[in-house]
Structure formats: C-alpha cells, structure tokens
Amino acid sequence: MNIAQMMKQAQQMQKKLQDAQTELANTEFTAITGNGAVTVICDGQGKFKSIKLTPSALNAENPESVDNDTVEMLEDLITTAMNQATSQASAEMQSKMKSLTGGINIPGLF
C-alpha cells in the first residue's frame, strides 16, 4: 500500500467520522420516568437538550396545587444548570485531551 492510498483512506475515515458525529448530534434520545412525570431529551453526543415535568412530579399527592408557571420555571432552572454543567465538563475534557495530545487535533477525540 502506498502513501497516497493511505492518505485517501485516512481522509475517507475522517469524513465518515464527521458524518457519524453530525448524525448523532442531530438525533434525539428521550427518557421518560415516573409514569411520564419526568421526560429528558439528550442528543446523540450526550448533550442535554431539555426536561419536561408534570405537576405530579412536583406534588404527587396534590398535582392540582402546582401551577404551570412553577413547572416551567423549574424546567428552565434545571435546563440551565444541566447545560452549564455539561459545558464545564466538555471544556475540561477538551483541556485534558489537548494536554495529552500536545495540542494536536485528533479527529474523533473532541
């Protein structure tokens, strides 16, 4: 195998990795717990997208006592916190990978 063929194969592999990452980023995964009380959506890269709560998730004994504004506020607070934590974790992972690879960008490692 000559170097030109190896480079072509490496470029094809990189394109396939990029395509797979794009496909995963555009795919949503939904988890529902508590008989539908909590719904969480993430993308295929594990990034948190959203959370939906029912009033019974907040007060199972008296869900009618929970107004929609309270539910939406709590969903927004949780979403913000999850996205901040995810961003911090991602930045730390990138920093560690960069130090391990000496700053070389290796496709598929972040």
CATH of 27-101, one of 3.30.1310, 3.30.450, 3.40.720, 1.10.357: 3.30.1310
pLDDT at 39: 97
pTM (2 decimals)? 0.70
| CB 28, CB 42: distance < 8 Å | yes
Average pLDDT, the chain: 89
Domain boundaries defined on the chain: 27-101
pLDDT at 97: 82
Closest CA to 61 of 77, 83, 88, 37: 37
pLDDT at 110 over 60: no
Report residue 9: phi and psi, to 5°.
-65, -40
